[in-house]
Amino acid sequence: MSEFDGKVVIITGAGAGMGRAHAVLFGERGATVVAQDINRNAADETVAMVERAGGKAVALACDVADAPRLVAALTGATNKLGRVDVLVNNAGIGGEPIIEDTTEDEFDRTFAVHVKGTFFATKAVVPFMKQQKSGKIINISSIWGLIGHHYGSPYCSAKAAVLGLTKAWAKELAPWNIHVNAVAPGGVITEMVLAQPDIEKKMSAKVARVPLGRYAEPRELSYTVAYLASSQADFITGQVISPNGGEVIT
C-alpha cells in the first residue's frame, strides 16, 4: 500500500514543469490528483501522463489570479472527490525586468498569481482540512524569495510574501493538525526557464555558482514536496526547505 493511496492532492500550475512532475509522482504513489492550470490542454496532458503512470487525475482549468473562480473550482472539485489531503501551491510566472522597466500591470500580475493565487487556493481547501482535522499545504517559493536577485524585484518580493503566508498559516492552522511548509528551489530545468532569452549564456553563468554544478530536474523537487506531504513530516510545519545544489548555504 502506498503512502498516498486514497488521498486527494490538488496541485496548481500542474500543466508543465515542476507542477507536472509533482502530479505524476503523487499519481505514481497512489493519490488522486487534481491538476489545475490556466491552460486546459496542458492540464489534460498532465492528467494523461498521471494515468499512464498508473494514477488517477482530473483536470481543472482556471486562472489562479481570478479568486472567485479559483475558489469555486477548487471547492467544487473537493466536494466531488469528498476530501482534500494535500494542496501544492505551485502556480507561478517568471520575469526579470529591472525596476525602471516594470509596468504596473506586470507588478500586479506577478503578485496576483504568486500571492493572491496561493492565498485563495488555500482559503478554498482549509474548511475541508479543518473538518478532517488534517492536511498538508506546501507553498512553492524560490531561492530568490530568500536572498533576492539583481533583476526581477516583483518576482523576488512575491516569493518572499509566500514565505510570510507559510509561517503565518503554520501557526494559525496548527490546532487543526494542518501542516504548512514551503519549498524554495534554486535553479530548475523547466519550460519557463528554457524559454528565457539567451538562456544558454545565462545558464552557464548561473550553473557556475552552484557547487553541485548543475540545475535540478523537476522531479528532484517533487521528492521534497512529497516528503513534506507525507506522514514522515508530521512534526514539520512553518519551515522552508531550499533544494538549491548548495548555491545558498546558511
**DSSP tag of 237:** -
Which is nearest to 137 in space by CA: 159, 167, 105?
A: 167
- Based on C-alpha coordinates, what's the Rg of the chain? 17
Q: Is the dihedral of CA 22, 25, 28, 31 positive or negative?
A: negative
Catalytic residue check, 223: no
Alpha helices by DSSP H, listed for the chain, are: 17-28, 40-52, 67-81, 104-111, 117-132, 143-147, 153-173, 191-194, 199-207, 218-229
Q: Which of 151, 155, 215, 223 is catalytic?
A: 155
| Residue 194 cell numbers, joined | 528554457
Q: Are 55 and 24 in contact (CB under 8 A)?
A: yes
- From 189, 187, 185, 169, select the one nearest 129 (Cα to Cα): 169
Catalytic residues: 155
